[in-house]
Amino acid sequence: MKFLIINGPNLNMLGLREPGIYGDRSYTTLCQLCEDWCAEEGIECELFQSNHEGVIVDKIQEAYGKVDGIIINPAAYTHTSVAILDALKAVAIPTMEVHISKVSEREAFRQISFVSYYAVKTIQGMGFEGYREAIRALKKWLQS
């Protein structure tokens, strides 16, 4: 089983970026944890981060036929990107949406998620642990 883990804009700034909301651990640490958590579940994983919407769309399209599942934190594009939603629908790869913070308790503009119209499930407010939850939940969903 192979997963593609996509992180959107500004998540490369984890550790520096609003630590009161996103914590003080870095994107490199998040990648290491995701690799470990996938290995524990016997899952091969590819990690990808971009600050550019079209580059994320290209990456999703390239994943067609190559991965069994996608875990995505679209970051700010969560709330704006029909293009990322349409790319996920186009490739029809089962997808879990993750947010480090509890977006449902934040600003009004964060209350819409386009990706959630396609995602199997949305995990939010669990910090980095949310990715572990997403890896396990997506594996379980694919096996059921």
**In the block, residue with structure tokens 């991965």:** 67
120 binds ligand DQA (CB under 6 A): no
**In the complex, what is the shortest distance from the CB of residue 42 to ligand DQA, in angstroms, rounded to a whole number?**
26
**Nearest to ligand DQA of 76, 83 (CB atom):** 76
Write out the two tokens for 143. 């096996």
**How many angstroms separate the CA atoms of 8 and 136, rounded?**
21
Of residues 4, 57, 100, 134, which one binds ligand DQA by CB under 6 A?
A: 100
Which residue in the block uniquely carries the two structure tokens 């642990």?
A: 129
Active site residues: 22, 99
Q: In this chain, which of 59, 70, 99, 131 binds ligand DQA, going by CB under 6 A?
A: 99
Angle between helices 53-62 and 82-91 (to 10 degrees): 0
Residue numbers of the site for ligand DQA (CB under 6 A)? 10, 73, 75-76, 78, 99-101, 103, 110
